Homo-oligomer: A and B are copies of this chain.
Amino acid sequence: MFLISERINGMFTAVKKAIAARDAAAIGEIALRQLAAGADALDLNVGTAAAEPAEAMVWLVESVRAVSAATLCLDHPNIEVIRAGAEAAGDNFIINSTTAREEDLAKFLPLAAQTGAGLIALTLDEKGVPNTVDGRVEIAARILIAAEGAGLPPDRLFIDPVTLPINVAQDQPKKLLEAVSQFKLLSDPPPRAVIGLSNLASGSSEKSLLTGAFLAMAMGAGLDAVILDPEDRLLIDLLITGEVLLNRTIYNRDYLKAWRAGKT
Residues of chain A having any CB pair with chain B under 8 Å: 166-167, 170-171, 173-174, 177, 204-206, 209-210, 212-214, 216-221, 237-238, 241-242, 244-247, 250-251, 253-256
Q: Is the interface of A mostly helix, strand, loop or mixed?
A: helix
> From residue A78, how far is it (CB to closest CB) to chain B in Å?
34
User: B170 contacts A247, CB within 8 Å?
Assistant: yes
CA separation between A209 and B219, bound complex, in Å? 15
Copies of this protein chain in the complex:
2
Please name all residues of chain B whose beta carbon is closer than 8 Å to the beta carbon of A237 when the two chains form the complex: 206, 209
User: A242 contacts B256, CB within 8 Å?
Assistant: no
Please name all residues of chain B whose beta carbon is closer than 8 Å to the beta carbon of A220 when the two chains form the complex: 177, 216-218, 220-221
> From residue A216, how far is it (CB to closest CB) to chain B in Å?
4
Q: Which 9 A-B pairs have the closest CB atoms?
A: A217-B220, A216-B216, A213-B241, A205-B253, A213-B216, A173-B245, A209-B241, A170-B247, A220-B220
Among residues of B, the one whose C-beta sits closest to the C-beta of A180 is B220
Q: Known contacts A170-B251, A174-B246, A210-B245; can you find 12 more A-B pairs with CB under 8 A?
A: A166-B251, A173-B246, A204-B253, A205-B253, A209-B237, A209-B241, A210-B244, A212-B238, A213-B242, A214-B216, A217-B220, A220-B220
> From residue A202, how far is it (CB to closest CB) to chain B in Å?
12
CA separation between A238 and B167, bound complex, in Å? 17
Partner of A244, one of B170, B216, B221, B242: B170
User: A241 contacts B174, CB within 8 Å?
Assistant: no
Please name all residues of chain B whose beta carbon is closer than 8 Å to the beta carbon of A171 when the two chains form the complex: 247
A-B contact pairs, 17 of them (CB 8 A): A170-B247, A171-B247, A174-B245, A174-B247, A204-B251, A205-B253, A205-B254, A206-B241, A209-B256, A212-B216, A213-B241, A214-B245, A217-B217, A217-B219, A217-B220, A218-B220, A220-B221
